[in-house]
Amino acid sequence: MAEKKGVKVYLVGAGPGDPGLITVKAVAVLNRADCVIYDFLANARLLEYAKPGSEHIYVGKKGSAKTIAQDEITALIIKKAKAGKLVVRLKGGDPFVFGRGAEEAEEIRKAGLMFEIVPGVTSAVAAPAYAGIPLTHRDLASSVTFVTGQEDPLKERSNIAWDKLSTGRGTLVFLMGWKNLPFIMTKLMANGWDVATPVALVRWGTLTKQECVVGRLDNIISLAETAGIKPPVITVVGDVVGLRERLNWFETKPLFGRRIVVTRALEQAGAFTALLEAEGAEPVTFPTIKTVAPPAWKPLDAAIKRLSSYDWAIFTSVNGVKYFFERLRFLGYDLRELKGVKLCAIGPRTEEAIVALGLNVSLTPKEYRAEAIISALGKKSIKGRRFLLARAMQAREILPVEIKRLGGKIDVCPAYKTIRPRKEAGVLKKELADGLIDMVTFTSSSTVTNFAKNFTKQELSRLMAGVKVACIGPITADTARELGLNVDVMPKAYTVPALAEAMAEYYRGR
């Protein structure tokens, strides 16, 4: 995306909360921003799209509790832009729908700076949609009106034509109206709205912690108090609210609202968390392993230099593929060194990583474990053959032991090492103690053992009581059981997508 000459500030809509609803253009702008100034309602995960080294400034704006006043925010935007930085002002929803984007744009223009608007998906539309409430319907509503819910009820003259809102009988959507909800309901009933008109309050719309309370104009206040609803809330008034019972799709996902701990390495957690979010879960990342280079490259370097002497190269993880081929290139070699060498991958994800490099995989066993590789190779294909195994520094010895027993020769070369990253476990311990975690997932034996190291034996038993455990395969499950954990979910296929699907099936059945 070419930078427009003179543009220093982009006022960008961050969408309603679900990070998947960010626009392609917004991502492109964030990729190039020098400074990102963001609000409370802009999902902080969107900062992952910002370029490395960019400055991120949180300016709050959480209801009435503002970290920085609006005029200070505008002054900050102008200051950063005048310093020569490309500034992204990341605002929840859409900048021009009750987002004060127009005020900021006016001041930016007065300062002699150029700006551009990148619209976002407004919560006024998205939150009801995620609650199963269409704002218009052929039989129920031909119009929709967006109304601010923050107008001071003590104002002498209202800017809202309350009497006119009752004439169209379309759908009304109030934004930021929680504080004034009793006033809004009273005004509508006083201006001709039937007390039985359906009302929906959608809290944290589009996020996995979304809540929705449905009532009528005359009882929604008491229902909201009983449910403990608090801001941020979108209020929808009109007959379309009655469709929620049939059209509620988001909150019926099998993992909806489940808080699930992901223990994978941070650089690999993204794909798994995306799968869980697609099923409605709220992933809690707690990486228990991190991959780093082995303490010495000598064994792997020696093997790479004699690659052509091997009959087979076996890879038992995506990490093994990554580190092996990075080292191959580092030493000045390329894929031609593998000519005549057959490649074996332990599972489909490892196979995909190899194929992505432009190589063919000769063998991927139907069951994704070391024993299955031995079975798939067969005795005749092992005896007298030379094998290279590029793997983690510490791993199960079943593969090299069996290949040697069957008459093969194998060089086991550490391509990477797994370590336990230093991460404070205090927050997770508290959430476990408070019953805020539904399930913990493990994708390798290392994730289990490193997770357990954060607790004493007594703590692990006490805090994990009632918490479900999902393991990617039998080896991981055995490790979990050895540490005193009950395993509730294990997929038939030992892959991350299969694990996510098995978890969804587990809760769907319940």
Calpha distance 435→429 (Å, rounded): 10
Residue 61 among the catalytic residues: yes
What's CA 196's distance to the chain center, in Å?
39
The active-site residue out of 94, 176, 185, 342 is 176
Using DSSP, state whether 267 is helix, strand or coil: helix
What's CA 253's distance to the chain center, in Å?
16
Peptide linkage before 232 cis (omega within 30 of 0): yes
Calpha distance 49→331 (Å, rounded): 32
C-alpha torsion sign, points 241, 22, 499, 466: negative
Residue 39 among the catalytic residues: yes
Q: What's phi and psi for 482, nearest 5 deg?
A: -60, -30
The active-site residue out of 8, 61, 80, 342 is 61
Q: In terms of residues, how long is the chain?
A: 510
Residue burial 165-174, b: 16+ Cβ < 10 Å; e: rest: bbeebbbbbb
Residue 176 among the catalytic residues: yes
- What's the Cα-to-Cα distance from 151 to each of 41, 160, 176, 255, rounded to whole Å? 20, 8, 10, 38
Residue 386, C-beta contacts closer than 8 angstroms, at least 6 positions apart = 309, 310, 311, 312, 408, 409, 410, 411
The active-site residue out of 18, 39, 411, 438 is 39
Q: Are 472 and 219 in contact (CB under 8 A)?
A: no
Using DSSP, state whether 337 is helix, strand or coil: helix
Residue burial 452-470, b: 16+ Cβ < 10 Å; e: rest: bebbeeeebeebbeebbbb
Calpha distance 336→355 (Å, rounded): 15
Calpha distance 334→184 (Å, rounded): 69
- Least Cα distance to 448 among 426, 425, 420 occurs for 420
Calpha distance 480→448 (Å, rounded): 6
Residues designated as active site: 39, 61, 176
